[in-house]
Amino acid sequence: MLRRIKRAVVTWLLRAGQGRLPAPTPRETALIDDLRRAFRALSITVSSEAGDSLREWSENANRLRHLVLTKDPRSFLRWDVIRRTMFVTDAPYVGEELSYLKHLPDWHERWCRAIKESPGGCPTSYVLYPASSENLIHHAYHLARFEEQTHRRVDDLACVLEFGGGYGSMCRLFHNLGFRGRYLIFDLPAFSALQRFFLRSIGMCVGSPDEFRDRSSGVALSSNVGDLHTLVADGSDNGRALFLATWSISEAPIPLRDAVLRLVSRFGALFIAYQRRFGGVDNLEYFRSWKRATGERVRWHEWEIDHLPGNYYLVGTDSISVT
């Protein structure tokens, strides 16, 4: 009990110390203006006939639009819709994940530096490790487990396709870990706009999908399935390409899931985290059916996450491209 009280007090002190922001710099003003232009141009409707997952994300996008247009986006990581959907806070399992990272042989040389939090969005610090946030530690844990399972470092990859990129934190982490290939985030337009704002606010360059096709490195954002077709059709990176989806593809409407997963089935690596059920869909059965459909070319590893019962990791590797 005393420990919980102490932790609550420290949490309050840390968050209370991150108060009003100073007036925005000219660069910050330009980024805010660009973000608000993008959201003003969006027409986000929620159809009564939409499925539960699409309706939920449309409602989230509408809430985000309201906040972008009425609040200071420089502190967007404090907003309710962000905390509810894409920023881990006050999660008891993060201490276990941090302990796992600290016991890695390259903790000091690699992971310790990679999880140093950036100021963009005004993230709250993790009480037990103030240099980082719970969200960034949680993302790092995912990638460490992927590397453990595949014996492949993320900085050896040539291309990453992330389905549902949150606000861009995972993309940032890949680059902190030394990744220098092509990184494409596929998401709804509202979240693509937020990702552009965040990544640019921390000094990363974000280009268009057209520019992305002609380069061997860089970050691009898209909400167009056609861009995914072009990326996969190129084929040059597929053996060293990763499809990444952490609790996103398992929340997407079935037709969109099917279309995307057919496209990425030839990637050298696939890493998916999902919950057993979402919106009435049995995801455990859905992904097992998908594994059967891929044939013997892919080596699959699937396991329940010990500290998150009812949630699973699914890792697939091409038996030729990835060893």
DSSP letter for 254, please: H
pTM (2 decimals)?
0.90
- Would you place residue 230 in the very low, low, confident or very high pLDDT band (cuts 50, 70, 90)? confident
**What is the number of residues in the chain?**
323
Task: Round to whole Å and give the CA distance between 128 and 95.
Answer: 8
Residues 6+ apart with CB under 8 A from 5: none
Two tokens, residue 311: 């949630």
Q: Is the pLDDT of residue 177 over 80?
A: yes
pLDDT score of 11: 47
Over residues 246-294, the pLDDT tens digits come to 999 999 999 999 999 998 888 999 999 999 999 899 999 999 999 998 8
Least confident of 69-73, 141-145, 317-321: 317-321
- Range of lowest pLDDT (87-91, 166-170, 187-191, 316-320): 316-320
pLDDT at 295: 79
Higher pLDDT, residue 60 or 30 = 30
The pLDDT of 59-63, averaged and rounded, is 90
Cα–Cα distance, 101 to 177 (Å, whole number): 13
Report the percentage of the chain scoring pLDDT > 90: 74
Q: Which residue has the higher pLDDT, 87 or 48?
A: 87
The whole-number pLDDT of residue 49 equals: 55
Residue 181 and residue 158: Cα distance in Å, rounded? Answer: 5
Residue 239 reports pLDDT greater than 80: yes
Q: Provide the pLDDT for residue 12.
A: 43
Kindly report the backbone phi and psi dihedral angles of residue 110, in degrees, each rounded to the nearest multiple of 5, phi listed first.
-135, -65
What pLDDT, on the 0 to 100 scale, is given for residue 141? Answer: 98
The structure tokens 């005393």 sit at 2
Predicted local distance difference test score (pLDDT) of residue 43: 81
How does DSSP assign 175-229, residue by residue?
Answer: HHTT--SEEEEE--HHHHHHHHHHHHHTT--EE-HHHHHT-SSEEEEE--HHHHH
Contact 86, 107 (CB under 8 A): no
* Rounded-to-10 torsion of CA 272, 274, 280, 285: 60
For residues 11 and 178, which has the higher predicted lDDT (pLDDT)? 178
Predicted confidence band at 9 (pLDDT cuts at 50, 70, 90)?
Answer: very low
pLDDT at 302: 97
Beta bridge partners of 272: 245, 314
Which token pair is 71? 């609040």
Domains identified in the chain and CATH numbers: 94-318 (3.40.50.150)
Question: Pick the residue with more confidence: 76 or 234?
Answer: 76
